[in-house]
Structure 1
Amino acid sequence: MTQPCEQSLGAADSDLGEVDDLLRAVVADGFTVYLCGGQREPEAIVATYTWPDHVDFVVIKDRHDVAAARARCTPDWDVFAPERVIWSYHGHARWALRAILDLHHPEHPDAPDDDHAAPAALRVPGEFLRSVSVRTPRPGLVARRAMRLRPA
């Protein structure tokens, strides 16, 4: 049975509302946000949270093409072209954003730790990097993720 366009559109609107809520949760968790390709209508959005030895990050190209990952902090780590990660997820925004929000603290015994090649979905094309705006977290938010996910 098919749905009328209005009902389908309503479902899409609901989906976008949930994705917006999850994006707000990422920002509220203390992530730094990079708007790539223009501040008003970015081609990609990258959000990062830096731990002492790791970085959690999300690359959003559209709501069906979102990659989330954790990498080890290294001197040559590139937020727009990571080469190695220890955890990654690629899929719809709803699931990728939930996955990064629920990822264990790096010191948790169940935290991922197996190094592997970063999937291509984590790379931001060079043409999107001609204009990048950075939004740092408000004071007090940076510690929120660490406190929320601290190991028991």
Structure 2
Amino acid sequence: MDSRDVDEELALLVSRKWTLYYFGGREQPRAIGAVYQYPCSECADVVLIRGEWLTIAFRTPTDEHTDVFRPEQVVWWYGSATLWALRAVFQLAPPGDLRAPHLPMPAPGCCRLAPELTKPLVVRPPRFSGRLC
């Protein structure tokens, strides 16, 4: 795996307006989270990067009480090397599409970030332009 490929996929997160979370600080994070909350939808795509070879991607139902880094349910999840997990989440059909995963299941433990990994936290929100819905 070429790290340039991973860098290109990570750049797509930013260009597609994902919010980035650096757990443990931005300089040497213990984990990186990325979240795309679909506008006008009650679900989010989430990526948890714990190393180049350990990344979990999932889609979770959301409401005002959901902690996307400790979901109770997911409708899809995938664990692999960072490159493949990012490519997998980018291939998901958007919510509402007939091809989109939609049946909830209990979230596996790998989709939950341990509380001790979450402090300190640096958040990099996306820049929005135009309408949300």
1:79 pairs with 68, 82, 97, which one? 68
- 2:23 — aligned with what? 36
The answer as to 2:40 corresponding to 1:23 is no
**How far apart, in 1, do the equivalents of 2:115 and 2:79 lie?**
20
- 1:103 — aligned with what? 92
**How far apart, in 2, do the equivalents of 1:131 and 1:89 lie?**
27
**How far apart, in 2, do the equivalents of 1:83 and 1:107 lie?**
21
Confirm or deny: 8 A CA contact 1:30 1:142 kept in the other structure: no
Structure 2 CA distance for partners of 1:142 and 1:117, relative to 1, 3 Å: farther
**Aligned residue pair count:** 131
**How far apart, in 2, do the equivalents of 1:31 and 1:55 lie?**
10
- 2:117 — aligned with what? 128
CA shift for structure 1 position 76: 2.2
**How far apart, in 2, do the equivalents of 1:63 and 1:22 lie?**
12
Output the TM-score relative to the length of structure 2: 0.90
CA shift for structure 1 position 130: 1.5
Which residue identity lines up with residue 33 of structure 2 in the other structure? Answer: V
Q: Give the aligned CA root-mean-square deviation in angstroms.
A: 1.8
Q: Determine what percentage of the aligned residue pairs are the same residue.
A: 34
Output the TM-score relative to the length of structure 1: 0.80
The answer as to 2:97 corresponding to 1:88 is no
Structure 2 CA distance for partners of 1:141 and 1:37, relative to 1, 3 Å: farther
- 1:65 — aligned with what? 54
Which residue identity lines up with residue 47 of structure 1 in the other structure? Answer: A
Larger Rg: 1
Which residue identity lines up with residue 129 of structure 2 in the other structure? Answer: G
Q: Deviations over 1:42-69 (max 9, x none)?
A: 0000000111211111000001110111
